[in-house]
Amino acid sequence: MSYLPSVILVLLAVAGVWVSSRMFGHPISPFSVFYGVWFFTLALFFLRLVEYTPVRAQAWRLIVLNLVSFGKESPLNGYEKSFT
pLDDT of the residue at 39: 87
Nearest to 5 by CA among 51, 33, 49, 39: 39
Does the predicted model carry a pTM greater than 0.75? no
* Between residues 49 and 52, the one the model is more confident about: 49
d(CA 54, CA 66): 18
pLDDT of the residue at 55: 79
CB of 44 within 8 A of CB of 50?
A: yes
pLDDT band at 73 (very low <50, low <70, confident <90, very high): low
d(CA 13, CA 78): 24
What are the structural domain ranges in the chain?
4-82
pLDDT digits (tens, 9 = 90+) for 2-51: 788 889 888 988 988 888 888 888 888 887 888 888 888 888 888 888 88
The CA–CA distances, whole Å, from 33 to 37, 63, 78, 82 equal: 6, 16, 20, 24
pLDDT of the residue at 33: 85
